[in-house]
A and B are shown apart, each in its own frame.
Chain A
Amino acid sequence: MAPSPPAAKLRLATVWLAGCSGCHMSFLDLDEFLFDLAEKVDVVFSPVGTDVKIYPEAVDIALVEGAVANVDNLELALQLRQRTALVISFGDCAVTANVPGLRNLLDGGHDSAKAVLERGYLELADATGQLPFAPGIVPELLPRVLPLHEVIPVDLYLPGCPPSAERIREAITPLLAGERPAQEGSAMLRFG
């Protein structure tokens, strides 16, 4: 008797926008749970799980770390929304813009791109300072750093800086069973 085909695995993506990758480090802190996860999902796009450069079609769940700070972030955010059933704002940078968003303070958030570049490359530089100019190579900064939900609709929020591995597991486990996690209480919701 031929073995029955394995049940279709969920297609999981993890995405790294403007963040420090701390949320992804926390994801790797899932340790042995990653083996359980690997039995239930195919990791189809991830800076820590695949070498795929193009965001694939028909993704079931995407954990999106980081704020939207440059044109590459924006393009990928729009693309992943079109190709993903359930988008999760993964960590405080995605949820609030957090530390990357601090540059919005430089001018009240209207055009902090110019302000932050001048601060970093001219004001704090020695006499040889110059603004970076590499069109098509280095992505242009957006005028304002945005949380993910101000760019695309988000289905679930997983705050934390970073969210602990425990919190990630508690959020993912119900999703693998087709259920929504109960996002309440200090274990699941706390910022910072």
Chain B
Amino acid sequence: MIYIDCPHCGERNEDEFVYGGDVAHRRPEDPAALSDAQWCNYIYTVPNTKGWAEEHWWHMRGCQRWITVHRNSVNNELQSVLREKGND
């Protein structure tokens, strides 16, 4: 179990948080412009990065804010934990 330094609450145990996907897996700006294949690829091909990745996490049992965690999935090293833009 890792520590995540929530920018709103401070250092907390991982079990207060819920993983929410890879930041790089952004919702397309204009879904209507995509072909069926491109849209299905967005919906069903979810990144599973080995190594460093930016991830959304939700501090479910804390401030209930979404945060961005820069984590190495190989060894759980954390580089930075930032607020999401919509938090201010």
Whether chains A and B associate is no
